[in-house]
Structure 1
Amino acid sequence: MKTRVFGIAAISLALASGYAFAQSSTVNGAAGGAVTGAIVGGPVGAAVGGVAGAVVGTAIDPPPQRVVTYVQEQPIPDDTVVVRQKVVVGRTLPSSVVLTPVPHNRRYAYAVVNHERVIVEPRSRRVVEILE
């Protein structure tokens, strides 16, 4: 009985904080992680999922919409780079992938890998977003 009440309270708290701070990727990650963790592992899963979601939300901030729009408007070259590893948000791209800087926003660059547009942090080469 106590675990059920604790689980419901944890989920309610996580969801309420997510609505209150919707602009923060950390809170969204925490709320999403807590809900997923609660479904899978109950109250303990909610706590672990909330912490994990907050860490992931902090690590990966989505680029501004104008960066996304700029990258979407660029033509895909005929000779795109193909890599063996799956391109995933949070992973780094190999050094063989040429990054093109985004004008007016040095925080981001982009590349076309495996016929997909990818927005990257140029210093770390870490994938920030994959565009469909």
Structure 2
Amino acid sequence: MRNRILAVAAVAAAIAMPATAAQAQTVGVARGGPVVVDESEGITVEQRPAFREYIVSERVPTYTIPDRVVVGNLLPEAGVMTYDVPQRFGATPYRYTVVNGETVLVEPRSRRIVQVVE
């Protein structure tokens, strides 16, 4: 009986380990804020002050949603406009918007938040 319990525990641990490792590779906290993307695809720490100035100068509207603004959340299909990231901030497949006062990078197809630009 004891061996059976140990075997079940070992199998459960082996199943959970790859999922935990995949999660650790996908989501992390980079210097200056949470990101899902590699910083080379997002807004780097050095670019953030200039990017914030750009957002203010463009008068990008802020959208209000009931959910918290965190990496991994989905934006609503309707009512939230996203914009192309200017080339001077690097080539990125993502778009940006301002939600609940927070500037975020969004994966265009899924509308998933991939970086909160702090």
TM-score category of the 2 structures, normalised to the smaller one: 0.5 to 0.7
Aligned partners of 2:25, 2:85: CA distance in 1, in Å? Answer: 23
Flag the structure with higher strand content.
2
Percent identity of the aligned residues? 34
Deviations 1:88-132 (Å, cap 9, x if unpaired)?
211211131110011343511000111111011111111001112
**1:72 counterpart = 2:37:** no
**1:119 counterpart = 2:101:** no
Q: Which residue of 2 aligns with 1:110?
A: 96
Deviation at 1:52, TM superposition (A): 2.4
In structure 2, the residue corresponding to 1:72 is in which secondary structure?
helix
Two-structure CA RMSD over aligned residues (Å): 3.3
Residue 57 of structure 1 aligns to which amino acid in structure 2?
A: Q
Structure 2: gaps spanning 5 or more residues: 1-11, 28-35
**TM-score of the superposed pair, with normalisation by structure 1:** 0.52
> Closer, same or farther in 2 for the Cα pair 1:53/1:114, shift >3 Å?
farther
| 8 A Cα contact 1:82 1:113, kept in partner | yes
Residue 103 of structure 1 aligns to which amino acid in structure 2?
A: P
Flag the structure with higher helix content.
1
5 Å-filtered alignment, 1:1-132, equals 48=16, 51-55=19-23, 57-58=25-26, 60-64=36-40, 67-68=43-44, 69=47, 71-76=51-56, 77=59, 79-94=61-76, 95-104=78-87, 105=91, 107-132=93-118
**TM-score of the superposed pair, with normalisation by structure 2:** 0.57
Q: How many residues align?
A: 91
Q: Which residue of 1 aligns with 2:7?
A: none
| 8 A Cα contact 2:41 2:92, kept in partner | no
Structure 1: gaps spanning 5 or more residues: 1-43
| 8 A Cα contact 1:67 1:102, kept in partner | no
| 8 A Cα contact 1:99 1:111, kept in partner | yes
| 8 A Cα contact 2:61 2:98, kept in partner | no
| 8 A Cα contact 1:107 1:121, kept in partner | yes
Between 1:84-93 and 1:47-56, the stretch displaced more is 47-56
